[in-house]
Structure 1
Amino acid sequence: MLLPTLLASVIVAQASTSPASHAAETLGLGPVLDAVVHQGVTYAALGRGGIAVLKLDGAAPQLVRRIEEGRRFVRLVIVNQSLLAIEQREEAHAFSLATPEQPQPDSLASALGSARDLTVVTEAPPTQAPPMTPTTTARRLTITAVKDGDVTLSGGDTAGVREGSRVRVRTQDAREVVLEVVESREDSARARLGRGESVRVGDTAVVTDAPATARLFFPEPGVPHLRYGFHARPFLALDATTRLGRSARAGGLLLDAFVAWRPGESPVVLSAQLEPVGFGLGTGLRHTPGAAYAAVAYSTDFLEVGIGAGVLFGQKSCYPELEPDTYKEIPGKNVCESNAGPSIQQVLRLGALDGFHLAWSSSILSRDNKFRFGSGRGELQVPLTPSLSLFGAGGGAASGWNFGEVGVRSFLKGTGGTGTTVLSASLGIVSLSDGTGNALTGPSVAIGIERRP
């Protein structure tokens, strides 16, 4: 025990003025026993245990992550593309005293197994043993329950976990998240997941000094394996008229519906959407414009880009035929053209699905031996709190639907991973056209639900 202690003291003395030591002091990581640099990344062996991965090339040092917390390393060496870490260990060895003058190596299990009580004999035994204090070093915790964003840990006050402490969780899908403890009891503690974070029962955790990984604008939850939902926009049409020009009480509905599936752990997402379909009622005219498509996209935490095929549908757009010389309307003669047909779809998302993002989808309509613009819609989402976001969306199509809206989006259940339910509510305006009469236009109060089973 004396030699490792002296070795650690010498290393601390040598490294006290190193950039890694200054960075560790700034970040509150405690003393550094040794440090090495590889390709611009600094690895520091911490006196409190574990190895800190640091970036020191900016104005302020940055802690990237901590590994192997609870283990004490006293020397780091870079060999080719490997980091070799020499660990300081305390081990017990047994020697047989059957012949007191000639101690012989013995089995530790044999030495301890033959006695009910372990008696330690020293040169000057204390008159009273010091009270036992719980140790928190290297104590590994287990997640015992996960419900609605609350995480229950297997250790509490007795394991050194206090309110405000942070724990590093290594998930079963090889991700690491650092959670802040919001409540601690004697034998259990409760931490709260951040936006987009997910853990499972059985994941292991250790107490850490690293900052919490929860991010509001750019969470890293991974792409959900399955999402489906709808967004319905009912509305009452203002100043609606029939084909003959008579007033009518009319209204309608503009509906989105979608399903998106990511097979396995691939970065590919397959989706099918009604985006959207409209229904108008009350004027005696048909108002059923819409768009539908299926697409395949490359999708990551902060980017999704894809292409697909779809169709635009709705009524023909008709207008009076004009005299070629006088440009006057010819009574009883109309020229009609269709804004429906097959389309090519493009989809794009910049930013996190559950954080700040800009999303866009558009279609190119194939008609009359030419391509023309078919539809386009966009959305901007801005997170406000860990469970609430503000969004604005709008779009239109040649087939006759248009809308614009502003609303909020909230997690009813979960934080973005499996088992999440998202509620959307918005106010806006919707317009549906049948191509022959006046469009149905009016304010809408919308609601949507998204599930991630």
Structure 2
Amino acid sequence: MFLRLTLSIPLTTAIVATLLALPPAVAQEAPSPSDTGPSQPDSAESYEAAEEAAEVDTITSRARAEGCELVASLMLEQGPVLACSDQRVLIFGDGTREVRRASGPIDALLPAEDDVWVITRRQEASLLSGLPRPAGPATSPEEPALPRPDLPPSSSPDEALVATVVESQHGSVIVDMGGAQGLEAGQLLELYEIETIRLGDTSESTQRVRTLAIAPIDSLSENRAELSLGVNERVPAGALARPTDQERTTSRLAPPRLPGLARLSFTLRPFLALGTVGAGSLSEASAAYQFKGPWTAEILVDPLAVGFSRATNLLAVIGTAIVSYDTTPFQVGIGVGTTTINSTAYQSGSSDTGGFGAELGFAISQKVRLGALDGIHIQLVNNFFLYDGAFRYGGTAGGAQVPAGSIGKSSWIVARGGAGFAGHAFGEVGLKVLARGNGDRASIFFVPTVGLAQLRGTREVDCGSGPTLPSGEQATSGERTCYAEVSQGGPMIGFQIEWRP
């Protein structure tokens, strides 16, 4: 036991001395991320930040280049989609650019499966008294009801492609959409307005679409389209337009009557008097205004005729002011005025027109038109005058009009004629042409005609050599004044111009 212990003490001493001779240990710290290089998560974050910055730069530069006041944007795989404050939606792809127009102010763009939701804002106005009361108890302020989420608007083509009429004149309109929005030349667009309809005597109302016209695209650019309207179709600036599969609304047989429209017309019909040396003109003038209701006021001077020859000078005039109940399919009216009387049957021995030898009388006119004014129709005007305390038949003027078929889309064949105790008779045929516009304001019509004209009157003659008096007695020279009928007539040409200011 003692021997074993004696041997172990030197061994222990040697081990301790050996340990003490070793160099001291150096404490080592864990390597820092900067010593070993960037970690994988930090590298991904830096890449995503750089990519987002590049997308922002792309969107900002595209919006600036397009003049777009940006309200929302969305980056897709093929390129960015930008929403502008003017309701434009710009779609960029690989070298392509497409423009769409939203149906209202845009609030946001949300991704959808293979598409994009365009969230628009719609505004409505209601009277406070017309708002319905809730069926249940009112919600207390302490427990407000949760708002219902707004559903995305429909993405149907009719609502996605809605344009606005920015200009309307001379029978055509221009809308703020074009080839960039998918429109094509010859495509039909429905031009319409949204009307607010009151429901009964309450404050409740609803909205209704009123179609103004369906017209084709005549001219097309990238962001504009021009449409040609039919006869008497009126579309104001601010109306809406959208593609449609319906047929065009224009009608040549029965174009609609336009309210608030003035018409000024003058017809010149010169002629040469055959059998003598003379000439004359059997003219016509009128001014009319079509009110918003079914009423028309008109001043009509028909005929406005004068003739000069070696034998005598003649005058034939009927002027009346007429008020009519006027609609698209018919017109009926009555008027009063004055007329000349040129007939040996109604001579009182005095002249109200000086050297023309005609007397004047109180006149009443009846006017009727069956058919549309600018379509197919027939028209008659009957005249009566007051003579010797009784009304006498004074004459009739009439006309007919039919579309000219293959001659032109805005032309009509006309035939007119008339005769009466005012001292005139005529007949003519012609072609009515819409030279400018579509029948609405600023339109101009031309009507060239050919026909025959005659003016009749009376002149004093020597009773000894004159005709038998109306009483059947033979006139004795120097005892009374006698009258003989004279006339002037021959071929005539006519030209009418009608302006609708």
Q: 1:317-396 to 2 correspondence within 5 Å?
A: 317=344, 340-384=360-404, 385-396=408-419
**Structure 2, unaligned runs of 5 or more:** 1-102, 104-116, 120-145, 151-155, 196-209, 348-356, 459-483
Question: Is the aligned partner of 1:146 residue 2:184?
Answer: no
Paired AA for residue 345 in structure 1: S
Structure 1 consecutive aligned stretches of length 4 or more whose deviation exceeds 4 Å = 105-109, 134-137, 171-175, 337-340
CA contact (8 A) 2:257 2:327 kept: no
Partner of 1:258: 286
Aligned positions of 1:247-286 closer than 5 A: 249-263=277-291, 265-286=292-313
Which structure features the higher share of strand residues? 1
- RMSD, aligned α-carbons: 3.1
Partner residue in 1 for 2:325? 298
Following superposition of structure 1 onto structure 2, how do residues 116-135 of structure 1 map, counting pairs within 5 Å? none
Instruction: Give, in whole Å, the separation in 1 of the partners of 2:346 and 2:336.
Output: 30
Q: Is the 8 A contact 1:135 1:159 kept in 2?
A: no
Contact 1:171 1:199 in 2 (8 A): no
State the distance in 1 between where 2:265 and 2:252 align: 23
Query: How far did residue 219 of structure 1 move?
Result: 1.3
Counterpart residue type for residue 268 of structure 1: W
| TM-score normalised by structure 1 residue count | 0.62
Closer, same or farther: CA 157–347 of 1 in aligned 2, 3 Å: same
How far is the alpha carbon of 1:220 from its aligned partner?
Answer: 1.4
Q: 1:377 to 1:339 in 2, by over 3 A?
A: farther
How many residue pairs get matched? 306
Match of 1:168 in 2: 190
- Output the CA distance in 2 between the equivalents of 1:376 and 1:155: 53
1:342-386 Cα distance to aligned partner (Å, 9 max, x none): 122101111111111111111122212322210211110111232
- Please state if 1:212 is matched with 2:248: yes
Structure 1 residue 274: deviation in Å?
0.6
Q: Secondary structure at the match of 1:209?
A: coil
Q: Which residue of 1 aligns with 2:217?
A: 181
Q: Retained in 2: the 8 A contact 1:182–1:191?
A: yes
* Shift, 1:395, TM fit: 0.3
The residue that corresponds to 2:178 in the other structure is: 156
Partner of residue 437, structure 2? 414
> Could you tell me which of 313, 321, 334 is aligned with 1:307?
334
Report SS of the residue matched to 1:294. Answer: strand
Q: Secondary structure at the match of 1:158?
A: helix
Paired letter, 1:286? N
- Written as runs of structure 1 = structure 2, the 5 A alignment for 1:397-408 is 397-408=420-431
Contact 1:226–1:452 under 8 Å retained in 2: yes
Separation in structure 1 between the aligned mates of residue 300 and residue 222 of structure 2, nearest angstrom: 50
Matched, 1:230 2:253: no
224 and 444 in structure 1: CA distance in 2 versus 1, 3 angstrom threshold: farther
Aligned position for 1:124: none
Note the alpha carbon deviations across 1:282-312, whole angstroms, 9 max, x for none: 2241200121111111011121101111221
Whole-Å separation in 2 of the counterparts to 1:147 and 1:91:
34
Shift of the 198–319 alpha-carbon distance from structure 1 to 2, 3 Å rule, reads closer
Q: 1:210 to 1:447 in 2, by over 3 A?
A: same
**Deviation of 1:415 (Å):** 0.7
After superposition, give the CA deviation of every residue in 1:201-253 in whole Å (9 maximum; x if it has no partner). 2221111111100111111142452111111101111112xxxxxxxx21101
- Please name the residue that 2:314 is paired with: 287
- Rounded Cα–Cα distance in structure 2 between residues aligned with 1:319 and 1:259: 31
Asked which structure has the greater CA Rg, the reply is: 2
* Higher helix fraction (1 or 2): 2
SS at match of 2:180: helix
1:396-429 alpha-carbon deviations (Å, 9 max, x no partner): 1112101100001111211111111111110011
Shift of the 290–107 alpha-carbon distance from structure 1 to 2, 3 Å rule, reads closer
Query: Contact 1:162–1:183 at 8 Å: present in 2 too?
Result: no
Provide structure 1 residue ranges, at least 5 long, that are not aligned to the other structure. Answer: 1-69, 71-89, 93-104, 110-133, 241-248, 321-336
CA apart distance, 1:146? 3.0
Give the Cα–Cα distance (whole angstroms) in 1 for the partners of residues 230 and 384 of structure 2: 39
Question: In 1, are the aligned partners of 2:266 and 2:498 still within 8 Å (CA)?
Answer: yes
TM value normalised by structure 2: 0.56
